[in-house]
Chain A
Amino acid sequence: MKLTKTLMATTALTVAASAAVAEDMAMEMTLVSWGGSYQASQHKAYVEPYLAANPGVTVTWDESSAEAVAKLRAMDEAGNVTWDLVDVVASDSMRLCDEGLAMELDADTDLADAPDGTKASEDFGDLLVSECFAPQIVYSTTFGYRTDLVGDTAPTDICAIFDLDAYPGKRALQKRPIDNMEWALYCDGVEKSAIYDTLGTAEGVDKALAKLDTIKDQVVWWTAGAETPQLLADGEVVMGSTFNGRLFSAIAEQNQPIGMLWDMQSFDLDGWVVPANLPADRKARVMDFLKFATDTQRLADQAKYISYGPARKSSAPLVGQHAELGIDMAPHMPTDPANAGNVHIYDYEWWADNRDDLDAKFQSWLAK
């Protein structure tokens, strides 16, 4: 009898204690990102100031963004989501949102307003491409070339990648249909506005692959963003596509003889999603961090470390100089008017619908 009473009292105490803890915020967070200099820029711009303001909180980084969709699916199936905040590209955020794996956000209440009072939904504007997405940066996939290997005339036109006569040598392209198919059609004479209509037909796909066929034996296919800078530094390739920040660090921080070819650069977004159904204490902590990490100053600060454009309009005027090199960052941003003369607007929604089909066709073409 006495034992039962003690047990009941203990249980009641435990329940009360855990309820009290649930009111608070968790003291640990696992953030998922891409590793490398990009993750380092997030750590310096968002995490370090947050930890300084919230002593006792610990942050663990998981470099798993490349397989975030697959891992979140597995975690959801196993009923054990260990991530708190996940950095993904726009199209992945749409997939996660559609599958109910990411939590829907309300931009105006979950994200901070601009310093002048502009609502977050207006400050981010069109970049809020999905209900679950808190955008951080605009980056682009674009080309770099070896200044010493391209002869007297440096390429200024995207179609230089298909011009083996003027620029002989290997090229590095990303091992996926996205962007490559669009560039191929564009250089085959298709109007920019008609690219996705053409790609929607079987003939259009064949046409793009036929154009890629002309350079197929000169292409080195990459999967990690670090590969192209390495291949360019080795002189293994004459030109290659990669994320513009990687090229910036090879040029400005590593002094490699590499030039930027901004023509038809392909814009994409990168941002946070919060996994669905987090426990209350972890959710409270991560929402607090999210609001802090996506405010105007934090997004502008990130541009001190890497040349990606902040996703808020109000951050753009605050973009300053590189933290170590002291050079102005604005001219290295993909969104700078001098670089964004002719850009390729990558259609996330079209690709979300057609990705599986074109992936299969692209892979079988690669294997031929």
Chain B
Amino acid sequence: MSGIPPYATMPQRVWYYTFRVICGLIFAFLITPILVVMPLSFNAQDFFTFTPEMLRLDPEGYSLKHYRDMLGDDGNPWTGLWIGCALGVAWAAFGVYRRGSVSLMSLLPVVVLSLFGLIIGKLTGATGDWMVALRNSLLIAPVATVLSVGFGTLAAIGLSQPHVPFRRAIMAIMISPMIVPLIISAAGMYFFYSRIGLQGEYLGVVLAHAALGIPFVIITVTATLVGFDRSLTRAAANMGADPVTTFFRVQMPLILPGVISGGLFAFITSFDEVVVVIFVGSAKQQTLPWQMFTGLREQISPTILAVATVLVGISICLLATVEFLRRRSERLRGMSPS
């Protein structure tokens, strides 16, 4: 009935069940702290406490007020939604016209663009602490990611050429932001950026986060370049392609997985980063992690639990989307999902 073969001995059977119990305990240990905050975020009080009303499952004990606190009541969510929806419909119609067939997937642009429109509209002109922080994070992280990916990929390609002098030393310097304790980089950046007028500026935070993201891109791209066959670029050059064409048409598609995963790391680094931004940024660039940090330190309010619950929900949605896309591409390539 189970996975135990009939010839298993007694100790093997015992181990089989012990192993599963241990795995279950580890799973519970990892997931309980995340789950326990979710009901607390619906607390009707301003404390991290399961009130008697909550334990009785009395509706009086629950409320959405911390979610309202988080969202605020300004911004232009509906305008954004309509614009996004209209663009999505146009895109979907264009897709249907080009492919000449309609499927459920044709509606995807409408849903995605409406959602984006809703979020962008909500963030435009919002003044609540959390919405401003989210807006700052979303303005900083993608730009820092683009810079990290651009510079990191170029550096990795350059440093993988055997004839570059001092390549080990240069590599060590480039990836040092990942190894040096963050607080030291942050203090150094603070004084350096102050001198050149970048401290407290949007550009300063973006550059600082790009510097933190570059090592991740260099490492992942260097790893993919190890498996890259150099004779392909020579073959392309032999057929008359200039180096730029060769890069974009031959090399880039082959190292793309490394570039994308490096870019993801760079994005997460910027989106999660709290130490450097406190030093390099000013209150005008307060990002989401910074807001969470001050929220926990200065005001122990369940609003932060509401934010945590939403972030967990977003992570689950992202993972589910990635898994869905992976299965879809496997199916399209004729492989069965494992």
Closest A residue by C-beta to B47: A233
Q: Contact: A226 with B282, CB < 8 Å?
A: no
Within 8 Å of chain A (Cβ to Cβ): is B63? Answer: no
Which chain A residues in 26-69 approach chain B with CB under 8 Å? Answer: 30, 32, 34-37, 60-64, 66
Q: Which residues A212-227 have CB closer than 8 A to chain B?
A: 224-227
Report the contact-size class of chain B (Cβ under 8 Å from the partner): 20 to 34
B300 touches A35 (CB 8 A): no
* Contact between A62 and B299, CB atoms less than 8 A apart: no
| Among B20-28, B74-82, B148-156, B191-199, the stretch in contact with A | B191-199
Question: Of A72-80, A159-167, A196-204, A282-290, which binds chain B?
Answer: A72-80
B194 near A79: Cβ-Cβ < 8 Å: yes
Partner of A82, one of B49, B199, B299, B301: B199
A230 x B48 contact (CB < 8 A): yes
- Taking a contact as CB atoms under 8 Å apart, the answer to whether A63 and B294 are in contact is yes
Q: Considering the chains assembled together, what is the distance between the CA atoms of A254 and B195 in angstroms?
A: 48
Is A30's CB under 8 angstroms from B283's CB?
A: yes
- Is A36 in contact with B190, judged by CB distance below 8 angstroms? no
Residues on A with beta carbons closer than 8 Å to the beta carbon of B194: 75, 78-80
Please name all residues of chain A whose beta carbon is closer than 8 Å to the beta carbon of B13 when the two chains form the complex. Answer: none
CA distance A80 to B301 in the complex (A): 33
A258 CB to closest chain B CB (Å) equals 11
Task: Flag if A34 contacts B298 (CB, 8 Å).
Answer: yes
- CB-CB under 8 A from A233, the residues of chain B are 45, 47, 49
Quick check: B49 and A227 within 8 Å, CB to CB?
no
**For the complex, what is the distance from the CA of A226 to the CA of B48, rounded to whole Å?**
11
| A78 engages B45 (CB within 8 Å) | no
Cβ-defined contact, A82 with B282, below 8 A: yes
A226 touching B300 in the complex, CB below 8 Å, given contacts A78-B191, A78-B199, A233-B45: yes
**Chain A: which residue is nearest B286 at the CB level?**
A62
CB–CB A63/B298 < 8 A = yes
Contact of B190 among A37, A74, A226 (CB under 8 A): A74
Q: Are B284 and A60 neighbours in the complex by a CB distance under 8 Å?
A: yes
- Is A108 an interface position by the 8 A CB rule? no
The residue on A at minimum CB distance from B299 is: A36
Looking at chain A's contact residues, the main secondary structure is mixed
Tell me the smallest distance from the CB of A175 to a CB of chain B, in Å.
14
Q: How far is the CB of B244 from chain A (nearest CB, A)?
A: 36
**Complex Cα distance A36/B304, Å?**
13
A224-244 CB contacts (< 8 Å) to partner B:
224-227, 229-230, 233-234
- CB of B88 closer than 8 Å to a CB of A: no
Contact partners of B301 in chain A: CB under 8 A: 226
B294 touches A234 (CB 8 A): no
- Chain B residue numbers with a CB within 8 Å of A254 are 45-47
* Option from B197, B200, B300 in Cβ contact (under 8 Å) with A224: B300
Q: Which residues of A lie under 8 Å from residue B300 when comparing CB positions?
A: 224, 226-227, 229-230
Flag whether B297 is at the interface (Cβ < 8 A). Answer: yes
Q: Which single residue of chain B is at the shortest CB-CB distance from A229?
A: B47
- Among B45, B46, B199, which residue has the most Cβ atoms of chain A within 10 A? B46
Chain B residues whose CB sits within 8 angstroms of the CB of A66 once the complex forms: 297-298
Partner of A60, one of B46, B47, B190, B283: B283
Instruction: For A37, list chain B residues within 8 Å (CB).
Output: 299
Given contact pairs A30-B284, A62-B282, A82 touches B200 in the complex (Cβ within 8 A): yes
Q: Which among B47, B49, B286, B301 has the highest number of chain A CB atoms within 10 Å?
A: B47
When distances are taken between beta carbons in the complex, the residues of chain A under 8 Å from B46 are 253-254
Contact, CB under 8 Å: B195 / A78:
yes
Nearest 10 pairs of A and B residues by beta carbon: A78-B194, A62-B283, A35-B298, A36-B299, A80-B194, A233-B47, A226-B300, A82-B200, A63-B294, A82-B282
Q: List 28 A-B contacts (CB under 8 A).
A: A30-B283, A35-B294, A35-B298, A35-B299, A36-B298, A36-B299, A60-B284, A61-B283, A62-B282, A63-B294, A63-B298, A64-B283, A66-B298, A78-B190, A78-B191, A78-B199, A79-B194, A80-B200, A82-B200, A82-B282, A226-B301, A227-B300, A230-B47, A233-B45, A233-B47, A253-B46, A254-B47, A256-B47
Give 8 A-B pairs besides A35-B295, A80-B194 with Cβ atoms closer than 8 angstroms: A34-B298, A78-B199, A79-B194, A82-B282, A226-B299, A233-B45, A233-B47, A254-B47
